[in-house]
Amino acid sequence: MSSVDVPVALLGYGTVGAAVHRLLIESAEDIERATGHRLRVVKALVRDLDKERGFALDSDILTTDVADVVHAEDVALVAEVMGGVDPTSDYVVDLLSAGKHVVTANKQLIARQAGDLFAVAAKAGVQLRFEASVCAAIPVIKVLRESLVVSHVHRVLGIVNGTTNFILTKMEAGHDYEAALAEAQTLGYAEADPSEDVGGDDAAAKMAILATIAFGSRVTLADVQYEGITEITTGHIQAARELGMSVRLVGAATIVEDKVDVRVGPALVTSTHPLAAVDGAFNAVMLQGDAIREITLEGPGAGGIETASAVVADMVSIVGTTGTGFLQDDPCWRSLERLDPGRLRSPFFLRVEVDDRAGVLARIAERLADHDVSVARLVQHQRDAGAELYIVTHESYTGAVSDALVEIADLPETHGKPSALPVISDRGIAKA
């Protein structure tokens, strides 16, 4: 049987776009054997026609006018790999409206505007796929949408930003934050402006997408509480090591009493937990549900070829399912309320600097007890200016811990602002 020629287009031809093109050429026979189709790039939208390309292509393929892609009658499938929200959003809407299937690697676009985009796709009868928007080569969206469709996933835990994980593991090896960031930039793991990664924006967008798919209820970037790793110091790293834990930037999406909580922030992970072993620029996502108990997916979460492999996989899925309606619809089928941020329960690690004199520990314990926060473990270190306390609490409400720390910070014996990080353990705090 002869193969079906499928002309496709790319929006963007940078590192990922070039890698997509190369994979389509080098893996053409594999794709044809699997699908009976041969995907061929016929148009690529770029900003500069004269720029040197990472993977050479014919000059007549390049265009600076998106209309050449939108109105190309022979193109039914487009991969968006240009990034950004403006003007990318308008381009994707125009492509979907014109009856073209779209694959995107754009996490910010999906996290912010997925509802509107799926509405346009449904009206036009085309597919919108976005596996590459989260964790690159790790097929977590496919697993959630297909393999676990009846598993009732109620919690997603993830290390979903390779840049921050690389920095934190370098800090564990003795680097300070600035040196670890500089090395990440040298190796290409971090951009010249790393703020989206180290500030938590990137991970928050990915967790919004994962929560939406896992729970079937729309979660946007605005629904995610997040912070990055810029406040993590070597003191946090040393404290974690002493307690048998590691510091990781963890995204957590949870259903509590039919309400959704999604947040991203630094956490202490016990050494026996799977996420503690995720080093360098790798990503990992843990899925917990009624029918599966727990599944962990781990692999490279960034890089041009890794992201391109997910883009191509989505393109192959589209040519294999066009006309069937299989998983092309908006994944949201219900609307869940947001959990009051203070009502999420977790164990916490508290770091407090105080005067080293009688009665200080009692006063701190009293403030915690007033908010029903109980201490599971306490380590004290003498310092020149006083003492440094490492406190691990039993599971407590987030809001209660925050309120207690406000009162502890106001004590005359307290130096500076106490810090609190959630603790993630698979054995419980008592055993940890």
Number of residues written out for the chain: 432
Beta strand pairing call for 337-338 and 259-270: parallel
Burial level of 189, CB count in 10 A (0-12/13-18/19+)?
Answer: buried
Distance of CA 383 to the CA centre of its chain: 38
CB 399 within 8 A of CB 342: yes
What are the start-end ranges of the E strands in 191-320?
225-226, 245-256, 259-270, 282-289, 293-300
Extract the tokens encoding 297.
Answer: 């997916």
Extract the tokens encoding 103.
Answer: 């694959």
Q: Where are the alpha helices (DSSP H) in 340-397?
A: 360-370
Extract the tokens encoding 317.
Answer: 């899925």
Catalytic site includes residue 206: yes
Among candidate residues 206, 259, 417, 431, the one labeled active-site is 206
| Phi, psi of 317, rounded to the nearest 5 degrees | -60, -40
Phi-psi region of 216 (alpha: psi -120 to 50; beta: other; left: phi over 0): left
Name the strand (E) or helix (H) holding 271. Answer: none
Cβ neighbours around 34 below 10 Å, total: 12
CA distance 246 to 327: 38
Name the strand (E) or helix (H) holding 113. Answer: helix 107-124
CA distance 288 to 251: 14
CA angle at 118 for the pair 220 and 102, rounded to the nearest 5°: 110
CA distance 281 to 246: 15
CB 142 within 8 A of CB 131: yes
Closest CA to 67 of 104, 110, 29, 97: 97
Active site members: 206
